[in-house]
Amino acid sequence: MDELITALRGAFARREAGRLPEALAAYGAILRAQPDEPRALLGLADTLHLAGELGRAAETYRRLLLLEPALAGAWWGLGCTRTAQRDHAAAAEAYRRLLALEPAHGMALANLGRSLFELGDVDGAVHAFRAAQPLLPPEAASLPLVNLATIVPGATSATDAEVLEARRDLARTLGAAAPAPPVRGSAGPVRLGYVSAFFSARNWMKPVWALLRHHDRARFQLHLFADRPAGGGALDFAPHPGDVVHDITGLANDAVARQVRDLEIDVLVDLNGYSRPTRLPLFLLRPAPVQVAWFNMFATSGLEGAFDALVGDEHVAPTDQEGGYSEPILRVAGSYLTFDVAYPVPDVAPAPGRAGEALTFGCLAPQYKVTPEVIASWSRILVASPGSRLFLKNRLLGTGSTRAYLRAQFARHGIGPERLVLEGPDEHFRFLAAYDRIDVALDTFPYNGGTTTMEALWQGVPVLTFRGDRWAARISASLLREAGLGEWVACDRADYEARAIALATDPATPAHLEELRRGMRERLAHASVCDVEGFARRMEELYLTLLP
């Protein structure tokens, strides 16, 4: 026994010192002598996880749990490994098993919340994060606040007031805004700065690229403040010769603020929103005379004094619903988003449905937007549309456990697996080609598609949506109405379901969809949603009205 303890301590010490190959060898030696030694199995699994050998780590945790099903540390390790593999259905199950053993495990609750969100159970995630907060140590206490502030606009049960409160709760931990912004410096072209961690994401940033390409460089000098992804990442935009790109990767917010002040940036625009919440404190430091949020906020920031305006439109932010915002709303005419496609995409294909055949509904949105309420609506549509199918494709569906999880959700509503086509991720060109297999795209709610809606339309596929109760639930309505497709915006959820069923049961639908697809890109070319030059002028005038 003394020899075993000594060997275990030696293996653990090597792991803690970062000597992972030596630790793996040491644990292997112990297990060759005692194959079912639980402490060695747990140490081996933890070390494999640290070494990035996630598949072997998960296999070792499972082997240990067959021997010791009540070992909390093994469930924790398995959950963390599955999270790292982005296998959130398996991760959620591991965290639930751990919480059955240790209900007050705050980090398990927090991690469960993350996995539930990724699976689309946003309300369940909100509950988990709130339950986790009082159980976490002080150094981790802000984690649930950040997560809640990030995901709450997509929670079905949340109101605008609750979104505002969740974001104010986080804002109170970030400090107050600086007392006064700097005064605009030299005359000449307006120095316009854009802040983003996603300048390398060409598909997601289509509205941004459309604006940047069409700015008037005689009136505006552009500065792009870019957080690059881990491992680098090329800027997926060909800057104008006069544009300046600043790599701020790894810089603290106060260092970026000094840089913005030294450059005398006149208007600083946040493109991150809560997709990169660690950059929000930059705007509390008030480094520019005018600060604006656009593109990726789709709700209030909750930061008092950080932004002079949040840019929206009459569709997503009607004037009678301004009580849920901490900053003024400025509305551009038309949609607050625009797009053009300046890279190769598949040609528009004929509609897959033919006369006398059942429709294929589809959605290529991320899984976190496919909430239980969405599944319930889609199931009612399928039940009332005999023979129709639902095609879903996203990153999370690349794992078998997520596909099984989703099939189980539909089965609760009487939808068998033969009605579902579930596929994982793909290279972007092939991903867009998947629209060739969809007759009608069904929007998600309360968090609509943005990029997803734009891409479906560009590939000729109409998107059925309805006007929801918040900004995030009206994004597709904004895009569709300004694309001249207002007839695809239902009044409410019941009307959304009824319209989908009517499309599936009307013999004239296939011919109508074929005609619509053939003329879709021509329609978009003449619609305000693709008037990128006009949108650039409207945004520029908005910026100028804010300058002192």
Q: In sequence order, which residues have a C-beta less than 8 Å from that of residue 334 and are 6 or more positions away?
A: 313, 482, 528, 529, 531, 534, 535, 538
Taken as a whole, the chain contains a residue count of 548
Q: Which residues contact 295 (CB under 8 A, 6 or more apart)?
A: 207, 208, 271, 273, 311, 337
Tokens representing 95?
Answer: 């965290």
Rounded to whole angstroms, how far apart are CA atoms 152 and 449? 16
Q: pLDDT value at position 141?
A: 87
Q: How many CB atoms lie within 10 A of CB 32?
A: 9
Opening angle at CA 331, ends 325 and 335, nearest 5: 115
pLDDT at residue number 1: 63
Closest CA to 468 of 233, 298, 251, 295: 298
Q: For the beta carbon of residue 496, count every other beta carbon within 10 angstroms.
A: 23
| Residue 383 Rama label (left phi>0; alpha psi -120 to 50; beta) | alpha
Report, as ranges of residue numbers, the positions in the chain whose pLDDT lies below 70: 1, 230-237
User: Taking the CB of residue 401, how many other CB atoms lie within 10 A of it?
Assistant: 17
The CA R_g of the chain, rounded to the nearest whole Å, is 26
Query: 357: how many CB neighbours lie within 10 A of its CB?
Result: 12
What interhelical angle do 160-174 and 142-151 show, nearest 10?
140
Phi, psi for 329 (deg, rounded to 5): -100, 125
Domains for the chain: give ranges and CATH numbers: 2-103 (1.25.40.10), 190-338+533-546 (3.40.50.11380), 360-530 (3.40.50.2000)
Helices and strands, counts by H and E, the chain: 21, 13
Cβ-proximal residues to 507 (8 Å cutoff; 6+ apart), any chain: 355, 356
**Which pair of tokens denotes residue 91?**
């991760």
At 63-117, the pLDDT tens digits run: 999 999 999 999 999 999 999 999 999 999 999 999 999 999 999 999 999 999 9
pLDDT of residue 229: 78
> How many Å apart are CA 489 and CA 469, to the nearest integer?
14
Q: Which residues are bridge partners to 196 per DSSP?
A: 226
The SS3 of residue 460 is coil
pTM attached to this predicted model: 0.94
Residue 539 contacts by C-beta under 8 Å, 6 or more apart in sequence?
Answer: 211, 294, 311, 332
Alpha helices per DSSP H over 198-343? 206-213, 253-262, 280-284
CB-CB contact of 120 with 374 (8 Å): yes
CA distances from 507 to 276, 463, 501, 510, 521 (A): 47, 19, 12, 7, 25
